[in-house]
Amino acid sequence: MIGGLYDGGPTYHSVGSGRIETFHWRSHIKLSRIIILVPVILFIVPLFTHYYLSKVESDSPNIDIHRTRSKLEAFEDFTSMKASDLKSRIEEMMRIKISVSNELRDLEAKRQRLQMEVSGFTQRIDELKQELLHQQTDLDRLKISVVQAQVAQREAVERNTPELAPPKRMLVNSLPPKVPPSHHFHSCRMHNCFDHSRCALTSGFPVFLYDPDLYSVVNPAWDVDGFLKTTIKQTLGYNPHLTSNPAEACVYIVLVGEALSTEAHGTKSSPLDVDKLHSLPYWGGDGRNHILLNLARRDLSVGSGNIFDELDTGRSMLVQSTFRRSQFRDNFDLIVPPILGPPGGDVWQDCPLMLPARRKYLLSFQGEMKSASRFATTPLGHSDDADADNELNLDVFIIQHLREMTTGMTLDKFLIQFECIPASDERKSVEIADWSLCGTDSSRKSILKDSTFALILAPSDADFLSTTLMQARLYEALRAGAIPVILGGDQVLLSYGEVVAWRRAAVFLPKARVTELHFLLRAIPDSDLLAMRRQGRTLWERYLGVAQGAVDTVVAVVRDRLGIPPLPAPQTPSPSVFNESFIPLRADNIVAEPEAEESLGPLEPPYPSPSFRRNYSTFLTQGHMIWNDWADPFNLYPQLPYDTVLPSDAKFIGSEVGFRPIGKGAGGAGKEFSESLGGNHPREQFTIVMLTYEREQVLINALARLYGLPYLNKVLVVWNSPKPPMEDLRWPEIGVPIHVIKALRNSLNNRFLPFDAIETEAVLSIDDDAHLRHDEIMFGFRVWREHRDRVVGFPGRFHAWDQNYHNAWNYNSNYSCELSMVLTGAAFFHKHYTYLYTHWLPQAIRDKVDEYMNCEDIAMNFLVSHITRKPPVKVTSRWTFRCPGCPVSLSEDDTHFQERHKCINFFSQVFGYMPLLNTQYRADSILFKTRIPHDKQKCFKFI
């Protein structure tokens, strides 16, 4: 029995058969004491044995002498180290030593196991403490969530009204009744010649097109441009407002087309057959709600194109390029450009680069004055009509001054031609006094591309408000990037003038100011030159460049007059990658990585952003921007990143619904900050869109990290692989829905499709291998709420000018004090830009993305910067965030960067300039690195 050798309880030793049994219950064996035990056993045991045998011999005289003697002799032999038995004795002692050594090793192993158990218990205690903090944080979040839910319930009770939603479409179901013909069509306006009862605000503006093959209104003696007729019929067929039911139509379009000249037919009859026009089945006696569409295409320098002059067109609207001043009815008739472009498609190939700002020629003009027939027999300056005489004299003075300007003492170069060189395609004007076109289309285009400004002279006959020739010159100037200078701009109107702000793209100058022309053009700085050139190109691409845009604009202008919103922009369906019967497996024990213990916001049920709330007011308050800045009046969007902001006091006085001010308006530090969103906008959530391709485990880990993320509405996983997910793949429960979308094809453009499953304005685009902390995501979301029209995110990049080798742009990812792009591998942007990326961005850019399987993030930055003329916003100090241990991505390959160099230069060609803008700051949280009292919390611990 040996006690006191170990801490924590008794230990029992039993010596026998060379084994030592040890029982230990409470504590570890200390190594130092074990070392002392070894010599004790090796030296004390033999002595104890000797003492025992001697004791036996002395105390037992009657024992068998032979047996006792043997023991004594053996002991005597052992003690005297006789050679015969020494080996066996040594072996015996060695066995004892080995046994003790084995026991010591067993004791050490048990000590280590006990130590590991103690470490495990200690770790478990720490985990329980951490879990307690987690549970406390969750409890705090739930308390905040309850408070927010109570506020939302109180708001709903106080309002006691349903959410605003557009009512169902109200359509008429009867044909226009016949009424007596109107003889006051010259005084027609929308209030007295248009039947508003057929066009309810919620009607969607249905448009009916008379089939030009069945309902031709052109005189048989005239030929109609078949190409134009087919093109207009086709483009109108793509318009979403078109209806095949005349009973529900709001307006009726009659395609007149372009008839050949009277010279070709040798007849002076009108190309329009009025009897056929009045006999149209839905004419209704007076032609109300009818649009007579007369679009020119070929004979730009032949005739006036004014086929409706002095004809009884009833109460119908007239749409053409040529109008007399006495004929045009303001805000009723419509001036349109000639159809000179293709039916549809990308048109950027026809446009040169916008740079340099100043070109070879400061001003150019090619044209020849053809006097009208009424002036043909009268020399200039000798007409009986004083006004006409003054007009012609003024034109003569203009010609003389422009010629003198080109030969004056100036370093500016001019190209002014007032006499056309005879050419095979030259035509002569016979009806109006106008400036004919000189040369071929290609020659004029070449000159205009070298011109900073293009001179456009108003018709010498001031009775004309617009002519096809003048509109054609405007078209050609904008296509070539030459800023139009309209001399006589105070007496003419341009295409779609009631909605398009032409003064942002052209210079208007009265003819009397021709002597100040040179001074004015030289006074315009480069920044304004490029702004006007960019605006002109935007207007040309959207409204003039292709037949589709021109026809859609006609419909949009009439609809805009009536205050009827356009139809909703098309969304992309979000089909699930799983069939209806398959139920994905759910993971039970996937634990997200531990986040910093701080409250980041309440955990709320999914809350979609209110949509289509400004259907009838957007065009009232922001119509000018819609037509001229965003250049997209053809679609109605559920929300816009440019929605108006209420003043700060409105959220406390009368308009508090939805707002969650910090500390109920009193403000506060971190604790109060984490309980509410605050800011200038009502509460909202965001949707995560994650693109993935055959990296299941990486995806699952990325999803698991999103557990407990506040303000998250849902997660959309765009499954780009043709192979469906493995059936045994276990999906984590993260507290919000995970919607896995089956992509139609493998394309990086799928990242920016306007999926109908996205129900929030805010979209967080994130790579499946990106690694962001929750506080970083929440801070990025809060920053985006104050910069809703921009890309807000984490990885910054910039474009750099490579002047040493290629004299072009390079894509650069080095650390820099400025940036111009925030990659969409981890960035917030408004859902509105997904519509523009998919339907508004030139197709050539999306094709390039598919070709390289690269650059979609650069394309989105180009788009947003082009629309807003603002740089992106980078948040926090994070530069890269790749997931450690994830498979190598495409971006690790040097080819990836070479392709991005090519993309950035190609995109610049498509846009005509470099839209990216540099920024030299990033956004960090308020109170970041600020010393505050110990009883106050910072907004974010690490930001």
Q: Which residues are catalytic?
A: 857
Tokens of 837: 């990326």
Q: 22-30 — which CB contacts under 8 Å span 24+ positions?
A: 22/103, 22/106, 22/107, 24/107, 24/110, 28/111, 28/114, 28/115, 29/107, 29/108, 29/110, 29/111, 30/6
903 within 8 A of 890, measured Cβ to Cβ = no
For the four alpha carbons of 73, 76, 81 and 82, in that order, the dihedral sign comes to negative
One-letter amino acid at 257 equals: G
Other beta carbons within 10 Å of 14: 11
Find the DSSP H helices in 248-376: 262-265, 274-278
Strand 922-923 to 873-875 pairing: parallel
Q: How far, in Å, CA of 781 to CA of 758, rounded?
A: 16
881 within 8 A of 766, measured Cβ to Cβ = no
Tokens of 932: 């505050």
350-382 exposure pattern, b = at least 16 Cβ within 10 A, e = fewer: ebbebeeeebebbbbbbbbbbbbeebeeeeeee
Find the DSSP H helices in 764-852: 774-786, 832-835, 843-852
**Nearest one of 315, 323, 461 to 387, comparing CA atoms:** 461
One-letter amino acid at 527 equals: S
Q: How far, in Å, CA of 796 to CA of 773, rounded?
A: 17
85-103 exposure pattern, b = at least 16 Cβ within 10 A, e = fewer: eeeeeeeeeeebeebbeeb
Find the DSSP H helices in 160-240: 190-193, 226-237
Hey, which residues does 821 pair with through a beta bridge? 797
Give me the DSSP letters along 114-165: HHHHHHHHHHHHHHHHHHHHHHHHHHHHHHHHHHHHHHHHHHHHHH-SPPP-
Peptide bond into 356 cis (omega under 30): yes
Q: How far, in Å, CA of 312 to CA of 501, rounded?
A: 32
Tokens of 282: 């839905």
901-931 exposure pattern, b = at least 16 Cβ within 10 A, e = fewer: bbbbbbbbebbbbbbbeebeebbbbebbeee
- Alpha carbon 852 to its chain centroid, in Å, reads 20
Length of the chain equals 943
- Alpha carbon 148 to its chain centroid, in Å, reads 30
For the four alpha carbons of 248, 249, 255 and 256, in that order, the dihedral sign comes to positive
One-letter amino acid at 543 equals: Y
3-state secondary structure of 607: coil
Tokens of 699: 């995806």
218 within 8 A of 257, measured Cβ to Cβ = yes
**Nearest one of 762, 643, 784, 607 to 155, comparing CA atoms:** 607
**Nearest one of 608, 595, 596, 593 to 884, comparing CA atoms:** 593
Cα angle, residue 358 at apex, residues 357 and 362 outer, rounded to 5°: 145
